[in-house]
Amino acid sequence: MPTETITADAAGTWKLGDRTVNRIGFGTMRLPETGGALGTGTGPADRDRALRVLRRAVELGVNHFDTASFYFSSLRSANELINSALSPYPDDLVIATKVGPGRDPSGDWWTARPGQLRGQVEENLRQLGRDHLDLVNLRLMPSVAAGSIAEHFGALAELREAGLIRHLGLSNCGPQHLAEAQAIAPVVCVQNRFGTGAPAGERDFLRACGEQGIAYVPFYAIARGGEETGAHGTYEERVETVARSHGASPAQIRLAWTLQQGPHVLAIPGTGNPDHVTDNVAAGALRLTDDEVALLADA
């Protein structure tokens, strides 16, 4: 499909609290590293190329970026790249970040206790060069998700009251976590793994978020809702067939299918390739038929 003139507003908009964003956004996890993400790649990404990717996204109307301070390689940090490429930030730009997990300088993971979340928030503020964060998602690691999240979410709610955070969300969560968090402070988005082939329970949760006016932000949507290493290998023949009928790529079809799950669904595909940014944004203009949406539900 032609992509040169298609911009992010082709997919429509949604409000994250009081901030309006285009439904096609950008995920920065892949920017610091080549050939993978979060310690799985082959080395640090080319800095100039990463900066071009971010600037190209903004040129195409992307105004919703997803990041985290734990998105880094040996030489690159997603937050630092965002700061270098996009600061001073456009007025309409919304940067969403995540706290909860952490990585030490060697790349090993750890899980923040409630009292450590302020330090993670301040680290994001410093790296991004901001005095407040637009949106902070509490990313639930298994040890936290297994019990009450009240202490962790309550700590972020206090930082929201203090003015360090504008809006709050949840990531890797279930309906029970959302209900518990909403009793503490407003939740503007849920960020979960989702794509074609997602289980019925997650599809129900997506619809429930829409009924409550909460944005649903899927990650790994291009990779069939499943793989950190990206969307590669053999696609299902059904996806290929629909892609051919639209003159589009399978990745674009998966993004279009995800966006058509509801007007509250926001896509955040990530890439380290400027050309792929253009392709991903163009997927926002695709409109699948009801039959195609149903056909791909399990692809």
The per-residue b/e assignment along 233-247, b for 16 or more CB within 10 angstroms, e otherwise, is: eebbebbebbbeebe
**Looking at 71, 89, 216, 235, which residue is catalytic?**
71
Residue 135: what are its φ and ψ, rounded to 5°? -150, 130
DSSP 35-69: SSSTT-SSEEPPHHHHHHHHHHHHHTT--EEE--T
- Token pair in block for residue 135: 């949106």
> What is the maximal distance between C-alpha atoms in the chain?
53
Q: Is the dihedral of CA 214, 262, 137, 112 positive or negative?
A: positive
Q: Is the dihedral of CA 99, 59, 215, 289 positive or negative?
A: negative
Answer whether 111's CB lies under 8 Å from 103's CB: no
- Token pair in block for residue 197: 């082939």
- Token pair in block for residue 34: 């080549």
Closest C-alpha to 209, from 264, 139, 140: 264
Answer whether 196's CB lies under 8 Å from 297's CB: yes
- DSSP-assigned letter for residue 213: T
In angstroms, the Cα distances linking 297 to 50, 217, 236, 259, 293 are 33, 17, 12, 13, 6
Rounded (10°) CA dihedral 145, 107, 66, 165: 70
89 among known catalytic residues:
no
- Could you give the residue numbers annotated as active site? 71
